[in-house]
């Protein structure tokens, strides 16, 4: 900053900086500091719009260049909004964790160390009466957390993030049990028969083995499922 050539000051005397000059110098110092500590490519709130300006998605502000945006990130408004966002996410995370623990009846531990995938066996099965095709899963959890039970969930192809683009012809069966990694099995996107005796799970406390049976509905059941005037599936006349 040029202090000696300012109007009203003697050569070599420095002089008093004006308010605008002080602000410009402060913004430049903040920009240089931010350049050393912030990587814009990893900033989730940094966005370059279609006209070439830079936007802060957290504070909803627009900046003409990256230096202005970097100076903004060191300002009071941005730092206050960051603190508010962190406090809100922490509060929502604790609430969701508590709700999950109540619903599942298990103790939820954050940042639990995973010990790998469990051993498993998959067997193709067919119901001798209905001729339904299905699968029988057997998973071994010898080191499962005391008091915990494995949990099962079906996931559509559009929920997963592994295969891109998603294939609508498949769905995924997820089995989770602490401290093991979650196992995902890729199945045909057919409707699962959830009637009693068709879809069931069972955990053997002695052998620490978890069983899951999945039977798919027949093509006729899938075609006429929910058609008005027809008897529900499984009712015999």
DSSP codes joined into one string, 171-202: EEEEEE-TTSPPEEEEEES--B--STTTSEEE
Residue 165 is predicted with a pLDDT of 85
Output the CA torsion 148→118→200→232 (10° steps): 120
Instruction: Give the model's pLDDT for residue 234.
Output: 47
CA distance 4 to 10: 7
Q: Give the residues of the chain that fall short of pLDDT 70.
A: 1-17, 34-38, 94-113, 224-237
Residue 219's pLDDT is 79
Paired residues of 165 in beta bridges: none
Amino acid 174: pLDDT: 92
Q: Are 152 and 123 in contact (CB under 8 A)?
A: no
Is residue 141 within 8 A of residue 209, CB to CB? The reply is yes
> Position of tokens 């099962």?
152
Backbone dihedral angles phi then psi of residue 72, each to the nearest 5 degrees = -65, -35
Q: Which residues make Cβ contacts (< 8 Å) with residue 222, sequence separation at least 6?
A: 190, 191
pTM for the whole thing?
0.47
Q: Is 4 helix (H, G, I), strand (E, B) or coil?
A: coil
């Amino acid at each position: 900053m040029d202090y000696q050539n300012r109007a009203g000051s003697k050569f070599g005397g420095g002089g008093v900086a004006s308010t605008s000059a002080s602000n410009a110098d402060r913004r430049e110092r903040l920009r240089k500091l931010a350049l050393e500590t912030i990587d814009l490519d990893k900033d989730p709130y940094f966005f370059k719009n279609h006209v070439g300006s830079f936007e802060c998605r957290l504070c909803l502000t627009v900046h003409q260049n990256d230096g202005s945006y970097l100076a903004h990130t060191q300002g009071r408004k941005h730092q206050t909004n960051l603190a508010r966002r962190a406090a809100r996410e922490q509060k929502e995370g604790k609430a969701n964790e508590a709700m999950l623990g109540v619903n599942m009846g298990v103790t939820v531990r954050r940042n639990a160390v995973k010990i790998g995938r469990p051993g498993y066996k998959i067997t193709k099965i067919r119901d001798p009466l209905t001729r339904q095709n299905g699968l029988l899963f057997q998973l071994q959890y010898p080191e499962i957390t005391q008091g915990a039970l494995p949990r099962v969930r079906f996931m559509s192809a559009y929920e997963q993030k592994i295969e891109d683009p998603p294939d609508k012809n498949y769905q995924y069966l997820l089995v989770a049990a602490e401290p093991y990694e979650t196992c995902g099995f890729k199945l045909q996107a057919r409707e699962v028969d959830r009637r009693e005796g068709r879809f069931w799970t069972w955990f053997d406390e002695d052998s620490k083995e978890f069983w899951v049976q999945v039977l798919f509905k027949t093509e006729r059941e899938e075609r006429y499922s929910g058609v008005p005037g027809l008897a529900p599936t499984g009712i015999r006349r």
